[in-house]
Structure 1
Amino acid sequence: MRIALTLTAVAAAVGLLTACTTLPTDTEPQALRSFEPQVVEQTDLGPQPGQEPDLLLRDFYTASAHPVQDYQSARSFLTTETEEQWNPSESILVVDRIDLITQPGSTSERRSFNVRGSVVGRIATGGSYEPENGVYEATVEMVRENGQWRISALPAGVVLERTELRNQFQPQRLFFAAPSGNVLISDRRWIYSGHQALDTALITLMMEGPSPTLAPAVNDLLPPEATFAGVVDGAYNFTGLADADDEARRLFAAQLVWTLAVANVPEPYAVLADGVPLSAEYEQLTTDDFAEFNPLVNTSRTVPLYALTDGVVSRVASNQVAPVDGELGSLRDIESVDITSTGSVAAVRKEGTGPDSSVLMSGTLEEGLREALRAETMSRPTFEVDPQNQWVVVDGETVVRVVYSGPSGEFTRSEVDSSEIDGLEGDISVLRLSRSGARVAMIIDGRVHVGVVNRVGPADKRIVNVRELAPQLGGTALSLDWQPDGSLIVGTSTPETPVWRIEQDGSAVTSLPSGNITAPVVAVAAAPSMIYLTDANAVLQLPTTGGDNVFWREVSGLQGVRSAPVVAY
C-alpha cells in the first residue's frame, strides 16, 4: 500500500482516514511546510454539568460526529476506564435516527439505555459510503462519576445520525483514470468539514487508491513505492515515480488536477516528482492542460433532445418537432433508442412476435443503420464511452455487448458476465451505463441496483460489486437514467412520490417535486440543465436549477403527446 506522509494534525483532522493514511509508527513526524495552526471553531461539545443521563447520551452521539484528535469531544462523555478502552475506529455506522429507551432496574447511580436505529449505511476506510439496510441495537451503561453522569460501557465504533453526517461531513470527489485512459471516473468520499487542509487530505486519499467498490473499474497507474511527501514551498511533492512512463504521469497529473479543481482548491498547481516537475511540458499545472478530461458539466451547453413517439424518432428543437433525417427517421416500428451527441444510434425495432422479433439496429444518423442482433425481447440499448460499443439485455436476463468493427464492417457479440446478479429475483427491465462507462445501473424486479464494470480482457466485461440502492422504493421503479453529476433519476409507479434522485453512493435518496405528475413515470432522461420524464399523460420537464420549482411543464412541441424523451449527451 502506498504511504502518504502528512502532518499529524492533518491526519487526525481527516478523521475517516485510518492506519493506511497516517504517519508510520516508526517514523518521526516532520514539518513539510511552514504554517500557522488553524483551529476549527465549534461550540463546546463536552458534557454539561449536572446533565441528565438521556440528554448526555444524545450529546455524546452528536459529539461522535467530530473526529478531531481521535474523538476527543466524544471521549469526554466516558468514564476514565471506558475512555481508555473505547475504539471508535472499528466502524462508522450511519442510522436514520437514534432512539433511546431506559431499561428496567435503573437507580440514582446507574442507568442502562437500549439504543436503536435503522442502519442506512456505513462510512468505510477512506470516507467512502456503503449503503446498508438493517437494524442497530446496543446497550449503553451509565454511572455517576464524581457526581456527574458518564458512559461506563458501550460498543466499539461510532454511530452517526444521517443528519449529523450531512452537517459535519462534506462529499468530495476523487478522480481515477479508466483503463482506456481517455476518461476520469469519480469516487465519492465524505470528509470532515472541520478539516483545514482539504488539498492534502484529498491527495492522501487519492494516493491510497480507489474505494474497494470502484477499484475493479479503474487503472492503477503508479508504482507501489509512489508516495505523497507533502507540500514544500507551495509545491506538491511526490517520490517513487522514477519508473512511471510519460503516459502514466500524464494520467496521474489529470487525476490530481481535476481532484483539486473540483474541490475548489485554487489553481495553478506546482507538482514535483522526485525533485523535478511532474510534467516536462509545464512547470505548473492547470485544468486547461487537461481539458479533454474535464469531468464537470457545462450547464450552458445545448444538448440535442429527441422524442420517440409511436415508433417514430423525431428531433425536438426551437419549440418544434421535426423528423430525423436519414434511415432512422423513416422507420415506424422503433421500440427504444439511444443516441449520442456525436450522432451514433442504437435502436431496437419490433417486428411482430416470436423468438427473433426484436432487432437491434446500430449505426449513425448520417450513415444509416445495420442489423446487429436479434432476440425475442431487448431492453433499451446503452452506449459505452466508445460509441462503437453498446449493451442490451436480451430476454430480461442476459446482458450482451455488441461491438462494431469499422475495418471489417461486422458486429461481434459477447455475453457480459453478470453472474453476481444471478441470485436476484426478476428480470432486468432497464440497464444504463454511466457516462464514464465505469458504472451500470439496473432495474431488477422494480428495484434499483448498481454495479461497476470490470474489464476482464480486451473484449470481455464483467459486472461486479452489485448492490441495491434506495430499498425504500420497494418494487416501484420503472425507469432510470444517469444525471451528468453522477447521480440517478428514477421514475416510479407511486402516485405520491413518482420521481426520485439517488446520489451516486446511495447516501441520499430525495423525492423530486411531484406537482402535476401523474404516475406511472415510464421514461426519464437527464440533460445538464433539464430533467425530462414521461408520465401517464405527456412529456414533462423541470430545470435542474432555478429555485423552488414545484410544477413540471410540458415540453414545447410535444404538448399533449406521450413520447419517450431521449437526451443525446
Structure 2
Amino acid sequence: MTSRSEHPSAGGTGERDGAAELSGTAEPGGAAGRRRDGARTLSRRVRFAGALTAVALGVMLSACGAMPRSGPVHKVIEPTEQSEQTTMAFNPQAPQAGASAQEIVEGFLAAGVGAQDDYSVARKYLTPQLATTWKPDTRVLVHSGEPTTVPRLNEGEFRTSLEISGELGSNGVLTAQPAGSTRVLDFVLTSVDGQWRISKAPDGVIVPKADFEQIFAPTTLYFYSAKDPNYLVPDPRWFVKRSTASTGAVRALLSGPAGYLGDSVTSALPQTASLSRSSVPVSGGTASVDLTLANFDPADVNQAHRMDQQLRTTLRSVSSVEDVDLTINGAPVETPGSSGTDAVRAVTVPNRQIGVSNGHLAFYQGGQTEEIPNISLPQGASVSRPAMGTEATTFGFVNTADSTVYTVASGQEPEKRWSGTQLSRPSFDRVGYVWGSDRSGTVHAVRVSEDGVGDTVSAAWLDKQHVASLRISREGSRALVVTTTGTSHRATVWLAGVVRDSSGKPTELVKGNAVAADVDVDTAQWIGPDEFVTTALGQDGNAQPRRYTVAGRYDELPSLTGVTSIAGGNGPAAVYGASDGKLYMLTGSSWALQSEQVTDTAFSG
C-alpha cells in the first residue's frame, strides 16, 4: 500500500500551462529581442522545476553577475550538532541574467519551496528590501495542476492563480481543501541593476501536491486531556524534512495546541516557558532541550515529570530522536521522587463487538454470536447502527421505525434520547455520555445514567450540514466528524476538540480541522488514538475503504462490494465490514467471511 496525503484532486478543470505567454511589457535594458530563445529555455526550466517541487535542501547556485552586490541580510538559525542534510534530489534554480518579469515570478514560485539556508535561492528573486522581510513560513499552498501567471494592466504587475488541495499554516497544521478551491497571488516587480526583481509578494510558498510529502513530514505533538491529565492527546503537525525538525516541534509545543483542539487539551509547559537557545540539538539520538522558565520550582517533581513526559513523547515522533535531556534554567531536570505515573497515549477497547442478529442486539467475538439477554426494545422497533459503552453494559441504537436514538441496559426499559433525520450511529465516551447528530447538524450529548434527552452541544460550524458520522475518541477529547452539504455526495472528514465543564459535561465542539475533503465517505471509525478507517456505505459496486492517520495520510484498503457498515477495534488488524447481511474481517489484502448470523457491528465507544 502506498501512503499519501489526502489532498483531493480537482474536478472539472484541466491542468493549466504553468508558463503563460510572455507579455509585451518593456524589459529593463531593452533585451527582449536578443533573448527570445533564452526565454523559451528558462520557461521550460521553470515548468520542470515546479513540477518536481525542487525542494531546496541542496547546494545553492551562485548569483549571476546582474545580481546586486549588496545582498539582503537573512535571519540566522543556530545549527544543531547534526548538519542539515540534503534530502531532495532537486535544487531550485537561481534567477538568470536577462530573465523577463514573468519568468522571475514563475522562477520565484518554483524556487520558493527551497528551505535550505532560510530560502536563500527564493530570496534572490526579490529586491534586497523585500528579501529581508518576506516570510516564507507563513503558509504553504499545496496546489494541483500548474499555476497560471498573467500580466496585469500596470507594467511590472502580475497575478498567479492556482488550484489548491491543501493549506499548511505557520503552526504546521495541514487543512485539506475541497476540489475547486483556488488562491490568487499578486506580485509587483521593479528593476534592480538592470534586472527584474520582485518588490511586493505575498508571504508563504507553494508546493505541488504530488511532491508535498517529499518536502514535509508529520511530527506529532502531545498535550494532556483537559478532562483527565492521565491521557495524552495527539496533535499532528507538518514540518520541512531537515535536522531542525526537533526545534520546530518544541517551538510548536511551547506555542500551544492547534486551534481545532481549543480547550479540550492542556499543556504542562507554561506559556512563559521559552527555549534558552535557538535550537534543540540532537546528538547520538538524544535531543537536548534547554528551557528558561521563571518561577519554576525544582522541588515540584510531579510538574517536572509531566513536562518531561510531554516533551519526550513529542520528540520521539521525530525520526532522529530516541531520548531527551531536559534542562530548565540551566539545571538538569530529575524526577526520581515523582508520584505521577506516565499518562496513557493509546486507550484500547475490548475485542467484543455489538451488532444486530435477527432484529435484536447481539454480541459478536471470534466467530461466535450471542443475543444480549434481558434487553427490551420499543414495540415494533427496527434496530440499526448499534453501539455500546466502554463497559459493555449500556447500549444504544437507531430505531428506524420512528427515527429515534435509544439507549438501553439489561433489565431496563429503553430510554428515548433524540429524534431526527438520517441519524448517525450513537457514540459513547469514557466520561459516560452518549453522542450523536443528524442531517440538521445538531449535536446531541446526554449522560447515559440520567433520564431524558439531555442537551445539545454548541457546534455552530455544523449548522445545516449533514453529519453522517460522529465518533468520540477513546480518551474523550476529540470528535471525528463526517459531513456533507446540500445534495452533495462528497464528504469532509473533520477533527474537532471536545470542551467539557468541570463535571465532564460536553459544552462545545470546537470548529474542526479538515483532515480529508471532497471524498466519497459516509462513516469514519477510530482504530487508535491517531488512526481511523473510512468508507462509503450502501453502494451497489465496490466501496474503497481507507485507513487514515490524523495527519491526513492514508492507505487504500481492499475494496468491499456493497458495504453497509465498518467497525474499527485496536489497530488495522481489527477492522470489520458488513455486506449483504454478512460480516467480514480485513485480512491482509482481502476480506475474510466471519459470520452470517450478525451484521452492522461496532466496537465500544
Which TM-score band (shorter chain)?
A: 0.7 to 0.9
After the TM superposition, which residues 493-504 of structure 1 pair with which residues of structure 2 at under 5 Å, given as runs?
495=541, 498-504=544-550
* Distance in 1 of aligned mates of 2:406 and 2:230: 31
* Distance in 2 of aligned mates of 1:390 and 1:153: 53
Q: Which residue of 1 aligns with 2:289?
A: 236
Q: Which residue of 1 aligns with 2:136?
A: 88
Write the deviation string for residues 427-476 of structure 1: whole angstroms up to 9, x where unpaired: x3432112232222334446335322122442342112135554423xx5
Cα gap change, 1:375 to 1:198, in 2 (>3 Å): closer
1:219 aligns with 2:261: no
Query: Kindly, what percent of the aligned residue pairs are identical?
Result: 17
Q: Of 384, 390, 397, which residue of structure 2 is paired with 1:335?
A: 384
Q: Which residue of 2 aligns with 1:135?
A: 182
Q: SS of the residue aligned with 1:74?
A: helix
Q: Which residue of 2 aligns with 1:66?
A: 114
- Do 1:518 and 1:537's aligned partners in 2 also have CA atoms closer than 8 Å? no
User: Which runs of 5 or more structure 1 residues have no equivalent in the other structure?
Assistant: 1-12, 14-27
Q: Which residue of 1 aligns with 2:67?
A: none
Q: Of 430, 451, 456, which residue of structure 2 is paired with 1:385?
A: 430
Cα gap change, 1:271 to 1:514, in 2 (>3 Å): closer
Write the deviation string for residues 26-74 of structure 1: whole angstroms up to 9, x where unpaired: xx9998xx96461322654233757987887655434322333331121
Cα gap change, 1:457 to 1:343, in 2 (>3 Å): same
After the TM superposition, which residues 121-520 of structure 1 pair with which residues of structure 2 at under 5 Å, given as runs?
121-133=166-178, 134-138=181-185, 154-179=201-226, 180-194=228-242, 196-229=243-276, 236-238=289-291, 239-240=293-294, 242=296, 247-264=302-319, 266-274=321-329, 278-281=333-336, 291-295=342-346, 303-318=351-366, 320-324=367-371, 326-327=373-374, 334-339=383-388, 342-348=391-397, 350=399, 353=402, 358-362=405-409, 371-376=414-419, 379-386=424-431, 388-393=432-437, 398-404=442-448, 410-411=450-451, 414-421=454-461, 423-426=463-466, 428-445=467-484, 447-450=491-494, 451-458=496-503, 459-466=505-512, 470-473=516-519, 477-492=521-536, 495=541, 498-505=544-551, 507=552, 512-513=556-557, 515=559, 517-519=560-562
* Distance in 2 of aligned mates of 1:253 and 1:344: 38
The one-letter code sitting in structure 1 at the alignment partner of 2:507 is K
* Distance in 2 of aligned mates of 1:223 and 1:465: 24
Q: Which residue of 2 aligns with 1:529?
A: 572
- Do 1:102 and 1:111's aligned partners in 2 also have CA atoms closer than 8 Å? no
- Do 1:222 and 1:241's aligned partners in 2 also have CA atoms closer than 8 Å? no
Write the deviation string for residues 469-503 of structure 1: whole angstroms up to 9, x where unpaired: 54423xx5432212325344332256476434555
Cα gap change, 1:250 to 1:404, in 2 (>3 Å): farther
Write the deviation string for residues 78-108 of structure 1: whole angstroms up to 9, x where unpaired: 45566456443454322223333565999xx
Write the deviation string for residues 205-249 of structure 1: whole angstroms up to 9, x where unpaired: 211211222232112444443333356997533333626955544
Q: Which residue of 2 aligns with 1:16?
A: none
Q: Which residue of 2 aligns with 1:19?
A: none
Equivalent pairs, count = 504
The one-letter code sitting in structure 2 at the alignment partner of 1:121 is G
- Do 1:93 and 1:158's aligned partners in 2 also have CA atoms closer than 8 Å? yes
Q: TM-score, normalised by structure 2?
A: 0.69
* Distance in 2 of aligned mates of 1:192 and 1:35: 15
Write the deviation string for residues 391-434 of structure 1: whole angstroms up to 9, x where unpaired: 234796543323255xxxx55763132341463244x3432112
* Distance in 2 of aligned mates of 1:138 and 1:351: 50
* Distance in 2 of aligned mates of 1:205 and 1:309: 49
After the TM superposition, which residues 20-31 of structure 1 pair with which residues of structure 2 at under 5 Å, given as runs?
none
* Distance in 2 of aligned mates of 1:523 and 1:498: 12
Q: Which residue of 2 aligns with 1:6?
A: none
* Residue 260 of structure 1: how far off its partner (Å): 2.1
- Do 1:254 and 1:290's aligned partners in 2 also have CA atoms closer than 8 Å? no
The one-letter code sitting in structure 2 at the alignment partner of 1:261 is R
Cα gap change, 1:535 to 1:122, in 2 (>3 Å): same
User: Which runs of 5 or more structure 2 residues have no equivalent in the other structure?
Assistant: 1-56, 58-74
RMSD (Å) for aligned C-alpha atoms: 4.4
* Distance in 2 of aligned mates of 1:199 and 1:190: 12
- Do 1:168 and 1:192's aligned partners in 2 also have CA atoms closer than 8 Å? yes
Q: SS of the residue aligned with 2:249?
A: helix
After the TM superposition, which residues 35-114 of structure 1 pair with which residues of structure 2 at under 5 Å, given as runs?
36=81, 38-41=83-86, 44-47=91-94, 60-78=108-126, 83=131, 86-100=134-148
